[in-house]
Chains A and B, each alone.
Chain A
Amino acid sequence: MKVKDLALKDGFEVINEGDFDREITGAYCCDLLSWVMGRAPAGSAWLTVMGNMNAVAVAVLADISVIILAESAAVDQPAIAKAMQQGVNILKTSKPAFESALLIHECLS
C-alpha cells in the first residue's frame, strides 16, 4: 500500500504531502523519539501524538514512510514547515493509534 492509498481512506486528513508514492511496510506506535529511531523498521507508518519538529527529523533519518497523528493530535507550524521542506508525509486521524495501526495491518495483509 502506498501512502496515497491510505490518505484516501475514510477518516484520514492530509497535513503534508511529501512523496505519496512511498510504500508503507508496516505500522509502529510510540511517542518516545529514540525508541522509534531504534525500533521502527524502515518504511513504517508511524502513529504518534508527537507533532513537533523533532518528530519530523526522526521520520527523515529513520526512513519513516508517513507520520500519522492519532486522536487528532496537534502538529505545530514549525513542524509542518520542516515537513514541507524535507518532503515528509504527514496525515492526521481522529482514530486512536492502535485502531489506525490495525487498519494499516489489515490493508497490508
Chain B
Amino acid sequence: MSASVLQLHYDVPGDDFTRAGEASSAIKNKLKQMGIAPDVIRNVAIATYEGEINMVIHANGGTIDVTIDADAISLVLKDTGAGIPDVELAMREGYTTAKEEIRALGFGAGMGLPNMKKYTDEFELKSEVGQGTEVNMKVYLKK
C-alpha cells in the first residue's frame, strides 16, 4: 500500500436536480489541477456522475469520498436510501424504476450502473433494502 496523497469528501443533497452533478464537476476540476491524465479523469467523471445522480434520484442523497494515491483513484459512494432489492437486475442495461417525471428530464435509460462498471477498473455494489447502498470503485492510474 502506498501512502494516500489526497482525500476529498462531498455531501450530495437529495432530490435537488438543480445541483445534481456539482460534486462530480468539483472532483473533475480537482483531478485536472493535479495533472491527472484526461482519459482517467473522464472515466472518473462518468462513474461519479452516474453514482451522484443515482443518489439524488433513488436514495435522497448521500456522500462521495475520493482517495487519490500513487496507483489509483478510489471512489466510495454511500447512501442511506431504500436500497436495491435485486442488484443483479439493477445492473442490467435498460432496467430502471425511474418515475415518468424523472424520465422526462432525460434520466431512466437504465444505463447508469452499467456505465459505472464499464468505466472503472474495479466495481463493487453492496445494498440492503431499508439500509442503503454503497458503491466502491477504482480507476487505475497505472495500467
The stretch of B41-49, B63-71, B82-90, B128-136 that contacts the partner chain:
B41-49
Residues in A neighbouring B4, C-beta threshold 8 A: none
Docked-complex contact B115 and A61, CB < 8 angstroms: no
**17 further A-B pairs in the complex, CB-CB below 8 A; given A34-B115, A61-B21:** A32-B106, A32-B108, A32-B109, A34-B110, A37-B46, A37-B112, A37-B115, A38-B46, A38-B111, A54-B17, A54-B20, A54-B105, A57-B20, A61-B24, A62-B46, A63-B42, A78-B18
Interface, chain A (partner B; CB < 8 A): 31-35, 37-38, 42, 50, 52-55, 57-58, 60-63, 78, 86
Docked-complex contact B111 and A37, CB < 8 angstroms: yes
The total of chain B residues at the interface (CB under 8 A) is 26
Interface, chain B (partner A; CB < 8 A): 17-18, 20-21, 24-25, 28, 38, 42, 45-46, 49-50, 53, 105-112, 114-115, 118-119
Docked-complex contact A52 and B106, CB < 8 angstroms: yes
Q: How far is the CB of B36 from chain A (nearest CB, A)?
A: 14
